[in-house]
Amino acid sequence: MTKTADRSIRTPTRMKAVVYHNYGAPDVLALQETETPTVKDAEVLIRVHAASVNAADWHLMRGAPFTARFEMGLRRPRHKILGVDVAGTVEAVGGRVTRFQPGDGVFAETFQSGWGGFAEYAAVAEDRIALKPANLAFEAAAAVPLAATTALQGLRDKGKIRPGQKVLINGASGGVGTFAVQLAKSFGAEVTGVCSTRNLEMVRSIGADHVVDYTREDFTRNGHFYDLIYCAVGNRSAADYKRALKRHGMCVVAGFTSMPHMVFQILLMGTLVSMTGSKSVSFMGTVSPNRDDLVFLTELLEAGKVAPVIDRRFPLGETAAAIRYVEDGHARGKVVITV
């Protein structure tokens, strides 16, 4: 007989959540009462204290790019509650869960569990959860999972970062970029951050050795060259990236300001650039959330080598405004939803 989750601690059967039923602008989001999720055998029910907004949320909200709808739902979203990052306390556990128990403080990514972070409760697969870093409040912990994992996997796994390398982070002041700067420093690299004038001091403060103000200087034409470029915004051509690379250098593109055009350009032109020379330009591809990386990040967070940068906090009922703010592209670090 299948063992079910222990719900004897009187978890409410109804909860508040930000729900949407059609693709569109932030106005499609509404705070509603809905059923509290029931955990499966290998899942944990988290009482959400905070969540954070990612570019993935507004892309999913708008159903863009259109090709992604074959997985998200062609005409209407398959998952009705957005939010991939959560931090909170364990409310109940499924029958096969062994690592967590009610009351544990945790943070998690909800990719494999159908999203659902913008709510009072979220059911999350056990292998996508880690104990919350002891030195972080729930709001700070919620800012970590997707953005920090994206930066980590791009630099370490795709970029093969090594100590002593000269590394440039394009989009250094954003959610992913602020983690990328700090992670590159923790790996022993000499780090240059590219950002706007108003963010120069902030990027220096989180560890960048050098900063480039893109409103005044073009990092692809200023005569400096890099072993590794990590681009969180994808706003340059493959040829531009190649120009700024050293021989045998590598560029990893993790995000795009113009999705369809830039994805095609990097996938096609980046491949040609890589095949016709010693420099490689490639698209990072899908992030693979996992517990091991969250534990790795926890060690860096508790050691003070990495710290979340939080721009603004919005209550759950103002999630639409929070996503609109992130979509506008001016957030410094992360935007957090308090539940």
Residue 277 banded pLDDT, cuts 50, 70, 90: low
**Same-domain check for residues 152 and 246:** yes
Query: Residue 4 carries which DSSP code?
Result: P
Q: Is residue 256 part of a domain?
A: yes
Question: What distance in Å separates the CA atoms of residue 189 and residue 169, rounded to the nearest whole number?
Answer: 11
Question: What distance in Å separates the CA atoms of residue 122 and residue 118, rounded to the nearest whole number?
Answer: 8
Domain that holds residue 89: 14-144+308-338
Structure tokens at 301: 């967070």
Residue 4 has pLDDT above 80, yes or no: no
Number of domains the chain is built from: 2
Query: Residue 129 carries which DSSP code?
Result: E
Q: Is residue 301 part of a domain?
A: no
So what's the pLDDT on residue 3? 44
**Same-domain check for residues 128 and 199:** no
Which of 116, 88, 89 shows the shortest CA–CA distance to 101? 89
CATH code for position 194 = 3.40.50.720
**Same-domain check for residues 85 and 206:** no
| Average pLDDT score over residue span 253-282 | 60
Q: What's the pLDDT tens digit per position in 159-188?
A: 999 999 999 999 999 999 999 999 999 999
**Same-domain check for residues 220 and 246:** yes
Residue 6 banded pLDDT, cuts 50, 70, 90: very low
Residue 204 banded pLDDT, cuts 50, 70, 90: very high
Residue 242 banded pLDDT, cuts 50, 70, 90: very high
Residue 8 banded pLDDT, cuts 50, 70, 90: very low
Out of 75-89, 242-256, 303-317, least confident range:
242-256
Residue 276 banded pLDDT, cuts 50, 70, 90: low
| Average pLDDT score over residue span 51-56 | 95
Residue 212 has pLDDT above 60, yes or no: yes
Residue 330 banded pLDDT, cuts 50, 70, 90: confident
Q: Is residue 159 part of a domain?
A: yes
- Confirm if 149 and 297 have CB atoms less than 8 A apart: yes
Count CB atoms within 10 A of the CB of residue 96.
Answer: 12
Phi, psi (rounded to 5 degrees) for 205: -65, -25
So what's the pLDDT on residue 66? 77
Residue reference for tokens 């949407």:
20
So what's the pLDDT on residue 153? 97
Q: Is residue 314 part of a domain?
A: yes
Does residue 65 have a cis bond before it (omega within 30 degrees)? yes
- Confirm if 130 and 291 have CB atoms less than 8 A apart: yes
- The packing angle between helices 319-327 and 55-62, to 10°, is 100
Interacting residues of 85 by C-beta distance below 8 A, sequence separation 6+: 51, 52, 54, 107, 108, 109, 110, 117, 142, 143, 144, 145, 146, 147
Fill in the amino acid letter for 164: G
- Confirm if 117 and 140 have CB atoms less than 8 A apart: no
Residue 134 has pLDDT above 80, yes or no: yes
**Same-domain check for residues 124 and 150:** no
